[in-house]
Amino acid sequence: MDFLLHHMLCTTAHRFPDKEALVHGHERLKYADVLRSVSGLAQALREIGIKRGDRVGIFLEHSVAQVIAIFGISYAGAVYVPINCLLFPNQLAHIAASCGMRVLITANSKLGSLLLVLPKIPTLEFVVTLSDSEAPSTPLRRFDFDEMTRNAVPRTWVDWGISRDLAAILYTSGSTGKPKGVMLSHANIMAGASIVSAYLEITDDDRILAVLPFSFDAGLNQLTTAFQKGSCLVLMNFVFAQEILQTLSEERITGLAGVPTLWTLLTQPNSGLLKQSFPDLRYITNTGGAMPQSVLSILRRALPSSKIYLMYGLTEAFRSTYLRPEELERRPTSIGKAIPDTEILVLRDDGTRCLPGEVGELVHRGPTVFMGYWNDPALTEKTLQANRVAPAEVGREEKVCYSGDLVMADDEGFFYYVGRRDTMIKSSGFRISPTEVEEILFQSGVVRDAAVVGVPDGMLGQAIKAFVVPQEGRVDPDELLAFCAERLPKYMVPKFIEVIPDLPKTNSGKVDYSELQRREGYESGL
């Protein structure tokens, strides 16, 4: 049986050694090729001293190397930490220092921009780089990625670990303004792959297009479901909608996962979606926020033979619910019912169950519930709590995941998303901490006070709006936006900046975010 992440690759490579596994541009690898490179990298990592449980970062764009790195790190017994390539060097440095990273796998072309922050990572000993450009000098020991993957694999191989061991840390924005590390076990990841591949009915005949980053749990799941079932995974980085549509046709793609911004892009009048047909596209899935109804309508018209799955989830518990395609007509705004092998509870503040139509917190029970936050026991204790409504035979030791999301269920058990308990913003499929954006606004030196909220947006789900109070004199919103754009990933840059004389405050003197959202005509359920 497959217990660890790399086991699924080993099993599939033995079943389908000559089957196409990975496609990226002109690169096409069979499963046997992938396993050979993964095994070589694992052996090389051990040879340089990587031990069981060591954290290894991956700072690469979608590529064959990125996939090999994920499975190679797992095969070496280490923990992989995928880092979104949109992040800035200081954000990467925070993640690397937070998890005690020993090795960073990146490209020579990216290493130059990281040289100033590498000293901020005291645990970092090695960098492994792709030779896509001339290698900059660095005080750290550097190894060549391609040479490591060509490493000879010994005949005797000790496979470390059990399914409850830590496999990955996915960093997602936290309420403190700094990313928090979500710890996932091998069992979590394997369960997620099995569950999703079951309800999407994925087989070795599928060809899945991967456009979401592997630092995002939904993107990572596309990789794991494909390799578990022996499907072909097609990787791509895109700029224009036409590039995706062209790949769908040329690669005979059968499955595509996206976030609302992707679907909005594909349904723009100039995309050409309505002028083409995609007979191979068996299904599409949406996660990372509610899909606008206007966009859903166009997709249903453009893809009449494709099944559309609307899904809801959070990194701490992976997917929680999905809406079956046949329910779209009846309840297009529902997030569906629980995924297989999962129970979704809607609880009041006192821990009792809500009645149909009553709003409460979504609480997730099942095998995908995460292990906790890296080095943050207080936040872990708040999110992972005892199951107070568990059957007597289960006891009170089982931990369930409190999502912070407010939902309600109808009389038939279908769930509907209401809002967030906290101030987190969900935009373009990303969870964004207002505090992190506010910190950059304060760094400009021209604002005395700042508050960031999410406001409804048909394309983004939520758009980021900043309210700022001038330090003195006048603040130019355009100049402030340009300042943010130089220091934040594109998805974290405010869409709007409004200059106001003072921020509303609560009785305790804190910024009243709810009042700011009410001014925008938006209630978030805070």
What's residue 304's pLDDT? 96
Judge if 238-420 and 425-519 fold alike in CATH terms. Answer: no
Q: What is the CATH number of domain 425-519?
A: 3.30.300.30
Tokens of 312: 């809801």
Q: What is the CATH number of domain 238-420?
A: 3.40.50.12780
> pLDDT tens digits for 65-117?
999 999 999 999 999 999 999 899 999 999 999 999 999 999 999 999 999 99
Collect all residues with Cβ–Cβ distance below 8 Å to 448 and sequence separation of at least 6. 469, 470, 471, 472
Alpha-helical regions (H) of 183-329: 186-199, 217-229, 241-250, 260-266, 293-302
> pLDDT tens digits for 123-180?
999 999 999 888 888 889 999 999 999 987 765 667 778 999 999 999 987 655 678 9
What's residue 146's pLDDT? 96
Delimit the domains of the chain by residue range. 5-194, 238-420, 425-519
Judged against a pLDDT cut of 70, whether residue 522 lies above it is answered with: no
> pLDDT tens digits for 25-36?
999 999 999 999
Sign, Cα dihedral of 65, 71, 76, 80: positive
> pLDDT tens digits for 241-256?
999 999 999 999 999 9
* Of residues 464, 477, 466, 402, the one with CA closest to residue 432: 464
Please report, as a single letter, which amino acid is at residue 486: E
pLDDT band of residue 506 (cuts 50, 70, 90) is low
Number of residues in the chain: 526
Q: Measure the CA angle with vertex 186, ends 182 and 189; round to 5°.
A: 70
**Structure letter (DSSP) for residue 464:** E
Coil, strand or helix at 499:
strand
What's residue 509's pLDDT? 59
- What is the CATH T-level fold of the domain 5-194, as seen in this structure? Rossmann fold (3.40.50)
